[in-house]
A = this chain, B = another copy of it.
Amino acid sequence: MVSNSSKYAIKGVLFLALHSNEENKIAVKDISEPINVPQAYIAKLLQELSRENIISSTRGPKGGFYLSEENKNQPIINILKIIDGEKRLTSCMLSLEKCNEDKPCPLHKILSASRKEILKNFERKTINDLVFDMKKGNSFLPL
């Protein structure tokens, strides 16, 4: 449902959301360790997100990755859409092409309500929402 890469990407973005801004960019080498993701790997993911304007970056000295206010007000799902693609999130639990509301597979009914709920949350929760949670001490980003 959510790939490793997406998980890493979310960790990276949340780290940036907490510690960066327009005036305080962060280089890859300073991100990978605290979020416990190999440097070259998170680099690739952040580059991809940057290319798609999910996050911001500038190169050269004093450069790095950061999140603009606009970036922070995006829903989490934007990250997943870029890294995993739309399909992965919404496809049938049995991967049946023909499965849909009208002709549901046997697992569809059991799972669709919960899956919709998850989707809805990814769609409406913004990066900022999660940051608030963490700042209030309601959630944590260890390792």
Contact = CB atoms under 8 A, between A and B. Distances in A.
Contacts of A103: 140, 142
Contact of A98 (B93, B110, B118, B142): B142
A142 B96 contact: yes
Contacts of A109: 133, 138-139
B134 A93 contact: no
Counting every copy of the chain, the complex holds 2
Interface string A131-143: 0011000111111
A141 B107 CA distance: 10
15 contacts: A1-B2, A2-B93, A7-B95, A11-B94, A97-B143, A105-B142, A106-B134, A106-B139, A109-B133, A109-B138, A109-B139, A110-B125, A111-B121, A114-B115, A115-B118
Interface of A: 1-2, 4, 7, 10-11, 14, 76, 93-99, 103-111, 113-115, 117-118, 121-122, 125, 130, 133-134, 138-143
Given A7-B94, A7-B95, A96-B142, 15 more contacts: A1-B1, A1-B2, A11-B94, A14-B106, A96-B141, A96-B143, A99-B142, A105-B142, A106-B134, A107-B130, A109-B138, A110-B122, A114-B117, A114-B121, A115-B118
